[in-house]
Amino acid sequence: MTVTVRFAPSPTGYIHIGNTRTALSNWLYAKKNGGNFILRYDDTDVERSKEEYARAIAVDLDWLGIRPDRVEYQSKRFDTYARAVEKLRQAGLLYPCYETAEELERRRKLRLARRLPPIYGREALKLTDAEKAAFEAEGRKPHWRFLLPNFENDPFVTSRTEVHWDDLIRGPQTVDLASMSDPVLVREDGTYLYTLPSVTDDIDMGVTHIIRGDDHVTNTGAQIALFKALGAEPPVFGHHNLLTTISGEGLSKRSGALSIGSLREAGYEPMAVASLAVLIGSSEAVTAVPDMAHLAGHFDLTAISKSAAKFDPAELDTLNRALLHEMPFEEARPRLENLNIAGLRAEAFWLTVRGNLDRFNDAAHWWQIVDGALPWGLNQAPYLSDDDRAFVRDALRLIPDAPWDRNTWKEWTDRLKAETGRKGKNLFMPLRIALTGQIHGPELADLLVLIGPERTKSRLS
């Protein structure tokens, strides 16, 4: 059996890091097991689904390193769903209901007042043909419910009917179908709710494993029943914990909270996002993993906690810095060239500045410091007192002759220490500010060589 998984986003907004957790879990599971990954757009809601969102989802997944083996659109499969509906109707497992939303709500409240579970009482099964015709004459159109197999002979006398599965993440699970309402599969306007297209597609596409958020655990019982009603063996299920914001709020595509596109535009590395999305809320340490192959080695569904995981953007910053600080020059080279950073000094420059980067594009700032002109001269440089300016000008007199190497900085500062008596911060900080305009940054021993004698002398005078 070839492992086949799917990620089925609705193209009604931009995917966020919580959706990414599901996509990556499926992708990594498929890759670890030599399987296939299907990207299946749940776009049966024609009005809300937008092609621009579908394109954005594809871009986001590609940026993360997820390349589908197959792409499907549910909006192109309505004929398949119609056949499934007819099969259920012929089997007596799909029945029409004419209640309005207001009528259903009144019944729910009445059941609660009687201390009964607020589930649908299957009243529509009692309708006669004449009553159905009367509703049709009023202009009512039915919605269609799936008759759950939670009774022996009389659908109005339900009995405990347990559905069991061994969840890949949560272990043995049980859902009692008698505690559930018959799910609506088809709306009054003939459009489909999530369950019918999803199960039908999983059957047709040979999906063997469904890995998704644990907000679907209760739904799984009814879906397993629907798989069997359509003559199929249910796949293996796994339900991972959900991500929330640091304050505990759920993530939403509609709000754009922590969307992958916004994280990309903010300059985060894809593997920083992927590392956090996969490892947070598990027994694995959240570390910056350099590529998908290494992340697959850390990926373990059984290590995922059953509690919700809180996403802290500060952790993403930490992971991003860690990836940049360890990034080899060969990996950085093409991106540096896109920033017009190239030539013989490019490698030395990268190895010098990478430890001070929060985002990759920050390298352009340091290249300007190394290779360009500062926005002010010594007289306008911030943070310097008159004594410091005098010290800097005098330091020019003791600067070593070219050629320079990494030892030049120590040779120079040793001379200054011996002649002026300055040491520590009082010695180094004025020189750093005069040379770079910054109070923090890479090692001056390395920066000095990159800046070179000519620029150094011009900045000190």
Grouping H, G, I as helix, E, B as strand and the rest as coil, residue 174 is: strand
**Backbone dihedral region for residue 193 (phi beyond 0: left; psi -120 to 50: alpha; all else: beta):** beta
The tokens 């293996």 sit on which residue?
236
| DSSP string over 390-446 | HHHHHHGGGPPPSSP-TTHHHHHHHHHHHHH---THHHHHHHHHHHHS-SS-S-HHH
Q: How many Å apart are CA 277 and CA 298, to the nearest integer?
A: 12
Whole-number Å distance between alpha carbons of 48 and 150: 35
**pLDDT of 116:** 86
pLDDT at 257 over 70: no
Q: Has residue 308 got a pLDDT over 90? A: no
| 258 confidence band (pLDDT: 50, 70, 90) | confident
* 68 upstream amide cis, omega within 30 of 0: no
Average pLDDT, the chain: 94
- At residue 252 the predicted structure's pLDDT band, cuts being 50, 70 and 90, is low
pLDDT over 80 at 249, yes or no? no
- Higher per-residue pLDDT: 252 or 60: 60
Yes or no: is domain 386-460 CATH 2.30.29.30?
no
Is the model's pLDDT at 300 over the cut of 90?
yes
Of the pLDDT bands very low, low, confident and very high (cuts 50, 70, 90), residue 379 is confident
Report pLDDT digits (tens) over 419-453: 999 999 999 999 999 999 999 999 999 999 999 99
Compute the CA torsion angle 105, 106, 107, 108 (nearest 10 deg).
Answer: 50
Is the pLDDT at 382 greater than 90? The verdict is no
Q: What pLDDT is stored for residue 167 in this prediction? A: 97
Give the pLDDT confidence of 133-174 residue by residue, as tens digits.
999 999 999 999 999 999 999 999 999 999 999 999 999 999
Residue 311 near residue 276 (C-beta atoms within 8 A): yes
Question: 299 exposed, middle or buried (CB, 10 Å; 0-12, 13-18, 19+)?
Answer: buried
At 429 the pLDDT is 95
Q: What value, to the nearest 5°, has the Cα angle with vertex 434 and ends 414 and 393?
A: 65
109 is in an annotated binding site: no
- Residue 245: pLDDT band with limits 50, 70, 90: confident
Q: State the pTM of this model.
A: 0.91
Give the CATH class of 79-167: alpha beta
Average pLDDT (213-225) is 95
Instruction: Write down the pLDDT at residue 253.
Output: 56
What pLDDT is recorded for position 1? 84
pLDDT of res. 260: 95
Comparing CA positions, the residue from 443, 418, 416, 440 lying closest to residue 429 is: 440
pLDDT at 247 over 80: no
Quick check: 128 pLDDT over 60?
yes
How much is the pLDDT for 377?
85
pLDDT band at 381 (very low <50, low <70, confident <90, very high): confident
pLDDT of residue 254: 53
CB atoms within 10 A of CB 272: 22
Domain boundaries, the chain: 79-167, 327-371, 386-460
Residues present in the chain in total: 461
Which residues share a beta bridge with 259? Answer: 16
Provide long-range contacts, Cβ within 8 A and 24+ apart, for 304-308: 304/169, 304/240, 304/241, 305/241, 305/281, 306/170, 306/214, 306/241, 307/241, 307/281, 308/241, 308/242, 308/243, 308/244, 308/248, 308/281
Question: Distance (Å, rounded) from C-alpha 360 to C-alpha 257?
Answer: 23
User: pLDDT band at 250, cuts 50/70/90?
Assistant: confident
